Structure 1
């Protein structure tokens, strides 16, 4: 892969030439388009760790994405300075690398369904085991079937950016190929054969069968290396490693801070975890003596850990740059940094103390019921109206009005294709906020009635 091509400013779905205005670059425009999208705003009511929390301080998907974007910009800019010097790149700025990473990081969770990763599990479980939905998914084949059995928020995010937002535009938000490629941590379709391909880039699906053509355009624009002549699978865009690292840094480090703030981790535990990652911990302890509050001490160390991990990830990327460009390096940067074990300990503690906290488990368990019930009820409605039209049951003709037209079809007539109809339904449910999903569930099940 070649850097000049990897930094392609060509926009998906647009024939316009890249902007010549340097005061606001194409990659900065990508960032702004994501910020002003409705899907981005909805992340303020989507789970990071603690669902439907009443504590203002705790992060949501929105604040996590903003923080990841900040880390991604720093990491990308630091790497960009060295890459430009190494390869004598003409007309490239270090800020371009940073802006691509910032925009991709900003959008990295934009396709996540309600209730965090348990929402993804709920959709997969519904597709595999539900009374009606499993039959509907069962008639599909290959990647169309696996899109539901192996539902993935990353693939849904690619749909949001390229199809669902600004849906009247070819290419959706019409982001640059560089940003879309850096966003796609898993550049593969959902059905590639179990165990055929190794490496982190083959771990999960990154786009649906319907969106494969869109990703092929992106891959062609930036010059990704294809891993199979027939299947839709490529090696990652190099900057996707930085996007992944920024996300990893943020959720590992910041989840510990959130855990401390809500009382699931003691001050001493959080302090020890952070100090274990840092160089010269004794010197830092002396600095802490000048900080009065425990909260402020944790915030100080959190910033120090993020900064040090950025430096270590930058060095890892630059050390492996040649292998990354050739597709020979396909592992998370975090698995090769000097403090890998200490950073792994942060996530292990979070799994033990935070992700299994009672209030988290209770709501995520309820989330399985909410998402499954919404999918099961609405797929029956859509199929009934698709097959019988105006002769569908009165219940179906009424309930379909609860679904926005863009998730049904033109004129509110469900699309004829079974796969496309089911995909539109998962678009609808995956785009819901936590609160809206709960509210709609209560209404369709009769638990809560307007005015009741």
Structure 2
């Protein structure tokens, strides 16, 4: 298949069922239609109280998962426009599909963190550690190695596919009923939990995993229709790059605002880690410091905002160039690196990453993350213990039934009427993980305190 035909295949309309009727004057493309389905939904709204870097932060300046996702959405769409112009000039893209690639990336950026549990990656670790210990102590489990691996390697990206394709109940079993490519754009590691999680590995598709056993058929239909060959969708590389650009610079901007790092830290660490971009980047820091040194009512946050924009421009330009240079491998899903790691902006990304370590190790962050860990781990203990009883159902008036009825009605609807997976033990555990991972940071803390009698 030519790459022009491949672009046509992955940018056209294809869903699990016919989309609902729209008004006659609707001029949106298929991916703008997806964006409209997503933007007003409750899973998107809950991102406003999920950790980006600073858990339970009171400052309204600091980014949450929602504001981060909106930034990634814009950056990804911007990169998509540049790539699209290049493809049109190469005659690799049908003019009728103009706008679809940037719209697809806009959708991908919006939803890429949708499945992240409370307290981000630390929350993921709490879930994984709980289930590793649970299966070690529960020798009577009916779960296969593959089924256990789904829980022991829980990943927010994998949960995102489940939310989008099934868990968000809107009247049937298809979730949001998004375009196939919208769903494929967030499958970073197209393997199951046993074939994947081979880190370190030379094959990027197997570094982690991309779908639970309950979404195996969903993945296969997408993979087969889009002819991906169990490789990454080309858009995944661009989404990953936009995510890297957004959070690497923005996390540092937030860190400066909260006083966790300062301009001297930034200048020192960039000077130590830069190579190709050393002269222009360090000159920019110097010029910004000199320009605003004696300005009234100006603090370092303005300087870091302008510095972020400057470095992001370099990274975006480098990503577009790297995509063009590695076009064939990306189209085949065989590029075994992240695009930014082989771009001319690699050194900027490394410098930001080293700054992030300084921010992440701040004691106030560590304390809140530990509190979040205890809440998530504790909630899993409470609900998983209850799930082992036959009374863990809506009928009844005992402890286990009361706990079952605390789980959100939409999750129970999917569990009882939509999810057809045959292993009942797996289904119960997945119901609990769906519920806990979908919580906001504050709700997780509050519910744990209420169930433990710490706060009523």
TM-score in terms of structure 1 length: 0.89
In the alignment, structure 1 residue 367 sits paired with structure 2 residue 363: no
Residues 272-309 of structure 1: per-residue CA shift (max 9 Å, x gap): 65685576347634466444423212111111111110
TM-score in terms of structure 2 length: 0.88
Within the candidate set 99, 118, 139, 2:142 is matched to: 139
CA distance in 2, matches of 1:224, 1:261: 43
In the alignment, structure 1 residue 192 sits paired with structure 2 residue 188: no
Which residue pairs with 2:41 in the alignment?
A: 37
Which residue pairs with 2:101 in the alignment?
A: 97
In the alignment, structure 1 residue 421 sits paired with structure 2 residue 417: no
State which drifts further: 28-37 or 423-432: 28-37
Q: 1:441 to 1:102 in 2, by over 3 A?
A: same
Q: CA deviation at 1:74?
A: 0.5
Matches within 5 A, 1:402-413: 402-408=406-412, 409-410=415-416
Matches within 5 A, 1:110-259: 110-130=114-134, 135=138, 138-192=141-195, 195=198, 198-225=202-229, 234-259=230-255
Contact 1:278 1:304 in 2 (8 A): no
Structure 2: gaps (5+ residues): none
CA distance in 1, matches of 2:117, 2:310: 32
CA distance in 1, matches of 2:197, 2:179: 32
Count residues with an aligned counterpart.
436
Which residue pairs with 2:264 in the alignment?
A: 268
Within the candidate set 298, 311, 332, 2:317 is matched to: 311
Within the candidate set 391, 402, 405, 1:401 is matched to: 405
CA distance in 2, matches of 1:27, 1:137: 46
Structure 1: gaps (5+ residues): 226-233
Contact 1:12 1:174 in 2 (8 A): yes
CA distance in 2, matches of 1:361, 1:283: 34
Contact 1:27 1:103 in 2 (8 A): yes
Q: CA deviation at 1:372?
A: 1.3
CA distance in 2, matches of 1:137, 1:253: 48
Contact 1:186 1:203 in 2 (8 A): yes
State which drifts further: 149-158 or 251-260: 251-260
Which residue pairs with 1:229 in the alignment?
A: none
CA distance in 1, matches of 2:33, 2:139: 40
Alignment RMSD: 2.8
Q: CA deviation at 1:422?
A: 0.9
Residues 305-346 of structure 1: per-residue CA shift (max 9 Å, x gap): 111101100110111111222333121001101131232121
CA distance in 2, matches of 1:387, 1:430: 19
Contact 2:234 2:332 in 1 (8 A): no
Contact 2:115 2:159 in 1 (8 A): yes
